[in-house]
Every structure is written in C-alpha cells, then in structure tokens.
Amino acid sequence: METIHVLKIGGNIIDDPAALSAFLSDFAKISGPKVLIHGGGKLATQLSRQLGIEPQMVDGRRITDEATLDIVTMVYGGLINKKIVAQLQAKGCNAIGLTGADAGFIQAHQRRNAAIDYGFVGDIDQVDATFLLQLLEQGITPVLAPLTHNGAGQLLNTNADSVASQTAVALARSRKVTFFYCFEKKGLLQDVNDDHSCVPQVKLADIERLKADGIVSGGMLPKVDNIAGALQQGVEKVILCHAQDVLSIIGGNSNFGTRFSV
C-alpha cells in the first residue's frame, strides 16, 4: 500500500464554510489512502451559549460536564462530521464518519487529575488501526471526530490533536505515514509575523535547539511536542502547514510548510 496521508484540520477551517469547502476539494484530490481528523471549532461553544450553558475552559481544554458532552457529541460527532462526509461524497471521495466508539477503534479512559476535574474528557489508551486499514483497502476514507469511549458505555471528549497523532502512530506500525498537521499559520515561522519565514525542514534532533532559540514557544510548544512524539513512534514525516497549502506541498512546493522528520 502507498503512503497513508493523515490530515488534521482545526477550527480556523471548520468555522469558515468557504475555506472548508475549498479544503475538502483539495483533500478529495489527494491520491491514495488518507484519513481526515477534524477538531471542533466554535460551533460547540455557540450551541452551549444558546442553550444557556457557559463553556468552561482550562488551558485550552473544555471542561466537559454531562450537558457539554451531549453538545460536543451532537456538534463534533453529528453536525460537523456528517456535513464533511456529505461534502466529500459529492467531491468523489468515499468518506465515512467515525468517532473512536465506532467499531471500538479508539479506547480511552476518563482523565484523572487531582487539581482539575475535566469531566468527560478522554485520554487515549489505544488506537486499533486494523479497522481503519480495512476501510482504506476498500478505498474508503475515514473522517474522524474527536470523541472516544471508555469501553464501558461512556463517550469521552478527546483532544483532536491527540486523536490525529495517535491515529498516525497506530497506522505507522504497518504502513508509511505522512501526517499533515494543519493550523492557522504557514508552518513553523522564524519570524511569527512573517508568513514567508517558514523553516522548511526540522530534524527531531533540532527541536531542543529551536525551543532554546525561542522559535518554538508559546502555543507552538504543545504542537511541536505532539509532532516529536509522532516521529519517535514511527511516523515517517510530519508536515506543519496551513490547510490551503496541502496540495501544493504534496506537489513539491517547498516554500510553505515545515517538514519534520527523524
């Protein structure tokens, strides 16, 4: 089997229908086996507020009480996931929408934290790639919502970056995987205010120096740690980029995107 492309998109694309449609057109054109993971965007927060539930965030993570779990299950697992699937079907990509509970392929446990009760938030124990590989071999493209389950009947709200990187790692145990980690910038920037200052290549061994130099700092720290983890666990290449540049990066354009490798 060819290299599997695993792509993660976040709120900056999901919250913008025109950008999402353009991205899905590009995604449908990627040849070979591929997997899309989407985050949540602002819709869950909007729906929460409409229902009179003020969202509570700690360090960028949503505190997920039972009412909030219902909301993210509706928004991530229903609305966003199925709209993406229907659009991909129209663009010639045979997509299937899944949470980690479907076919039981992501087992997680509820986060235990002495200081903060995150509620129904899941940390991933295991991604079973077998089922995803069967779908890919049938030409079907999994579209994953950031929800998992604990195997005892409980759905769990789960960080989309973790779902994406751990899915990439699980697939990398038996296949070559390139993981496109899409976000709101063009890549890892030397100068955060200059989109043309992308660092084209980063080796795993360079990461500590980049942190020391301050090029990796703030919100980039957890992203780069996530990327380092994926590389250490067998993902061949991780490309940090903007979703709109994915196709041109695959086509060989090295002006945008940062290519991380071992």
Number of alpha carbons in the 13 Å side-chain half-sphere of residue 1 = 19
Give the residue with the Cβ less far from a copy of itself, 70 or 225: 70
**Dihedral in degrees, nearest 10, Cα atoms 159, 45, 216, 191:** 150
Q: Of the listed pieces 59-67, 150-158, 223-231, 239-247, which binds a copy of itself according to CB under 8 A?
A: 150-158
Give the residue with the Cβ less far from a copy of itself, 156 or 235: 156
User: Does 262 engage in binding with a copy of itself (CB under 8 A)?
Assistant: no
Q: Which of 154, 197, 244, 261 binds a copy of itself (CB under 8 A)?
A: 154
In whole angstroms, what is the distance from residue 145 CA to residue 148 CA? 9
Task: Map the footprint of a copy of itself across residues 117-136, applying CB under 8 A.
Answer: 131, 134
Task: Map the footprint of a copy of itself across residues 241-260, applying CB under 8 A.
Answer: none
Q: Which of 7, 13, 35, 98 binds a copy of itself (CB under 8 A)?
A: 98
Q: Of the listed pieces 66-74, 116-124, 225-233, 236-244, which binds a copy of itself according to CB under 8 A?
A: 66-74
Beta carbon of residue 98, minimum distance to a copy of itself (angstroms, whole number) = 7
Q: Which of 63, 79, 210, 250 binds a copy of itself (CB under 8 A)?
A: 79
User: Does 109 engage in binding with a copy of itself (CB under 8 A)?
Assistant: no
Q: Of the listed pieces 34-42, 58-66, 70-78, 221-229, which binds a copy of itself according to CB under 8 A?
A: 70-78
3-state secondary structure the chain: CCCEEEEEECHHHHCCHHHHHHHHHHHHHCCCCEEEEECCCCHHHHHHHHCCCCCCEECCEECECHHHHHHHHHHHHHHHHHHHHHHHHHCCCCEEEECCCHHHCEEEEECCCCCCCCECEEEEEEECHHHHHHHHHCCCEEEECCEEECCCCCEEECCHHHHHHHHHHHHHCCCCEEEEEEECCCCCECCCCCCCCECCEEEHHHHHHHHHCCCCCCCHHHHHHHHHHHHHCCCCEEEEEEHHHHHHHHCCCCCCCEEEEC
Q: Which of 95, 121, 144, 246 binds a copy of itself (CB under 8 A)?
A: 95
User: Does 140 engage in binding with a copy of itself (CB under 8 A)?
Assistant: yes
Beta carbon of residue 170, minimum distance to a copy of itself (angstroms, whole number) = 18
Q: Which residues sit at the interface with a copy of itself, rule CB under 8 A?
A: 50-51, 70, 73-79, 81-83, 85-87, 89-91, 94-99, 101-104, 131, 134, 138, 140, 147, 149, 151-155
